[in-house]
A = this chain, B = another copy of it.
Amino acid sequence: MGRPRTPLLDRERITTTALELVDSDGDFSVPRIAKRLGVQTGSVYHHVDGRDGIVELLRERVAEAIDSATLDPGRPWEASLAAWARSYRAAFAAHPRAIPLLMTSPVRAPRVLRQYERAVTLLLAAGFALADVMPLIIALENMVLGSALDLAAPEAMWELTDTSATPALARALDAVPPGRADRSFELALAGFLAQAEAMLAAYEV
């Protein structure tokens, strides 16, 4: 028999397996990846830079789905940021259980850092003060990722067994229009953009 054309183990397959584990269990471990791929744990370490290296491969994989072309300095910054935020939310909504893992470990993946570079460049070109740029990006990300988690929530998120105990909540829930998650996200996004515009305007005073 000749050698298989696809290597049994490579970074792509390790990343895919790690993401499957995160999607189902909320976390991964190198031994579990090895077990699933039918190899020794040491063989996995041969291909990646430890557990942290796998986290960065996961980050690149999830972030691949973000359309970074939205960060186009040729367009008004509000439209660019809004389009980026929507694409960012969709990418992470596909892997909600990866969010806590990726939000709590440092970003090292070069391709992801280049996406931040584009966002920073866009905000500087729009006229934001250097010290305000990262707080703005972080505020936008927190809102995007909180909202991505909400997309993974059940449509009926509040279950009232005794509506007499919470009559106002019962009425408010009955009045919720369809697509509550999108509506809440767009409301928060509009607030963010208005706040950013107010900051820009305040520089000029």
Residue numbers of A with Cβ under 8 A of B are: 25-27, 96-97, 99-100, 103-108, 110, 113-114, 116-117, 120-121, 124, 130-131, 133-136, 138-139, 141-147, 149-150, 152-154, 156-162, 165-169, 171-173, 175-177, 180-181, 183-185, 187-188, 190-196, 198-199
Residue of B nearest to A25 (CB): B27
| Most interface-central of A96, A145, A169 (chain B CB within 10 A) | A169
Q: Chain A binding site: helix, strand, loop or mixed by DSSP?
A: helix
Give chain B nearest CB distance to A81 CB in angstroms: 12
Q: With the chains together, A181 CA to B137 CA distance in Å?
A: 11
Instruction: List the B side residues contacting A103 at CB < 8 Å.
Output: 149-150, 152-153
- Whether the pair B172, A130 counts as a contact (CB closer than 8 A) is yes
User: Beyond A103-B150, A139-B187, A142-B147: 11 further Cβ-contacts under 8 Å?
Assistant: A107-B157, A120-B166, A120-B169, A120-B172, A130-B172, A142-B146, A142-B188, A143-B146, A187-B195, A187-B199, A190-B195
Q: How far is the CB of A53 from chain B (nearest CB, A)?
A: 13
Q: Quick check: B187 and A135 within 8 Å, CB to CB?
A: yes
Chain B positions within 8 Å of A190 at CB level: 195
Contact B169 A135 (CB under 8 A): no
Shortest CB-to-CB span from A72 to chain B, Å, is 15
Q: Which 5 pairs of residues, A with B, have the shortest CB-CB distance?
A: A146-B146, A191-B195, A142-B146, A191-B191, A138-B184
Given A114-B165, A171-B130, A191-B192, CB of A183 within 8 Å of CB of B106 = no
Q: Shortest Cβ distance from A195 into chain B, in angstroms?
A: 3
Can you pick out 7 interface pairs between chain A and chain B where the beta carbons lie within 8 Å of each other?
A26-B26, A107-B158, A131-B175, A133-B172, A135-B183, A144-B146, A188-B191
